[in-house]
A and B are shown apart, each in its own frame.
Chain A
């Protein structure tokens, strides 16, 4: 038994990354950032607004949270709808109480189906990030480039039509991309994407269609990961976010402004028995002079101005 000799050849084994998208860079070697109003840490809340069609699509993959039983899967369809009817309003209410403007990663189909909801979001000063069309709009390699291009453009165009604003940011479902995604996003004029989780500040990501900024939306600190996957309580989630904030604030004193992504799912965090714990968490953040809340585009513009 032996392997193809090519398996022991390493054509990209050289200085830097094994791709051309970004050079190596240590977070601790960069010019310290300064956020406005003397803030040392910006919390970046991102609420995912998801519409799950009753018939799931497995091509290229089935989205996390999608239908599971034989048709009709009323339990999952309606439990996800709970998020868009009730949970999201609990989250928006929680952020209103502390005066926070947040990002909302929105399936364009949500805006088409529930115009009142997106009107409430946009008029309150929150930011809409494009989040595909609906939860059947997953992306991975193997997808035809023309199909992916149409999916991205369809989401952006629809959200522009329904909200009056072309989204500046993009979040892929499950942060899953093909080798074409970043290029197609840059080509569509998207300013930033949230899919790559390799950093804790924005950085420039090169594509064949020019540069796009990646703002890392930490997947480990999402309510989905901590509460659904790891089966932790909301109190544990709050402790983990508090520990993260404390650590980053201490680091900010030496290395400059930091950001803490807070990725939220209405049908997970917006439940009656969880929301009070969540409200307590963000009230605690709001009380701290050196902590602020920011939308993705606000972080992007502040970061860009300092490059």
Chain B
């Protein structure tokens, strides 16, 4: 069986939830909470990847494209203001071409003190089928583009539209990145097995991602807010045993719609007022985890 088709991809060793070493977050907090706004740019008429269609409809997919464009014209600004108001920084999953197309949005996030990691060049260009040189090119492009636009060196990765190759994680570690958001096996950080260096999988989430909430589970805005509060309450309770991580992955074109942003405020109020949350950024969570666990496992 080829490397690309192993039954177990060999990402990490099994580690049962019971009897783990205690992870401690600063000031006795039990749950590290981070928000991951996806700041994206989708192309109207993208090049075709033979392994995945960009849009369900023939180009132009007017609703698909313009819905996402709502993010940059309208809803980013609503979402960002709401986060800042309640003291939540963002760790941005960034289509790095947004730096070129709409630098206003990237500059706004940077001025708010948010951290950036790469979500590929565009969310309409996928890694499937790339050779190693091509995959290196998008990683190097991401590092250079974000550094030029924001002065920040990206430390993490969420694959563009969640498209990977079997070599992606090794390459991220080789380029000195600290974390990947692509693995969903745990509520605590995990060091991933990579060929060189160290790469930590930080819990992101599909289950409480606003896209899943509204388009897979078909929740109303208030149901989604209630879901996030329940997710937080449980993770904050269990984090007393060993610190947990809760990510709130957002797409402003969803959460920043006028019927959703109001109910969402209750989530931020709840978490900010609770007292058990370490409200922070992805890179800080990975740093705190590594200080306690040391080098790559």
Are A and B a genuine interacting pair, yes or no? Answer: yes
Chain A residues within CB distance 8 Å of chain B: 1-4, 6-10, 12-19, 24-28, 60-61, 140-142, 172, 174-179, 195-200, 216, 218-221, 226, 229-232, 236, 239-241, 243-248, 260
Judging by beta carbons under 8 Å apart, are B62 and A177 in contact? yes
Judging by beta carbons under 8 Å apart, are B63 and A174 in contact? yes
Q: Chain A: which residue is nearest B108 at the CB level?
A: A26
A22 to B130, CA, bound (A): 33
Chain B residues within CB distance 8 Å of chain A: 41, 43-45, 47, 49-50, 57-60, 62-63, 65-70, 72-74, 77, 97, 100-104, 121-122, 125, 129-131, 133-134, 137-138, 214, 218-222, 257-263
Contact pick for B49, options A3, A61, A195, A246, CB 8 Å? A3
Judging by beta carbons under 8 Å apart, are A24 and B73 in contact? yes
Contact pick for A13, options B67, B100, B137, B219, CB 8 Å? B100
Tell me, rounded to whole Å, the shortest Cβ–Cβ distance linking B12 to chain A: 26
A60 to B61, CA, bound (A): 13
Judging by beta carbons under 8 Å apart, are A141 and B97 in contact? no
Contacts of A241 in B (CB 8 A): 259
Tell me, rounded to whole Å, the shortest Cβ–Cβ distance linking B195 to chain A: 19
Q: Given A8-B134, A220-B257, A239-B220, do A199 and B74 touch, yes or no (CB 8 Å)?
A: yes
Contacts of B45 in A (CB 8 A): 18-19
Judging by beta carbons under 8 Å apart, are B43 and A196 in contact? no
Contact pick for B44, options A19, A142, A176, A243, CB 8 Å? A19
Judging by beta carbons under 8 Å apart, are B220 and A14 in contact? no
A220 to B255, CA, bound (A): 11
A61 to B74, CA, bound (A): 30
Known contacts A13-B100, A13-B101, A198-B69; 15 additional CB pairs below 8 A are A3-B130, A6-B47, A9-B47, A17-B44, A19-B45, A24-B72, A26-B73, A26-B77, A27-B77, A61-B57, A179-B59, A198-B67, A198-B70, A199-B74, A230-B218
Contact pick for B58, options A60, A172, A226, CB 8 Å? A60
Q: Chain A: which residue is nearest B51 at the CB level?
A: A3
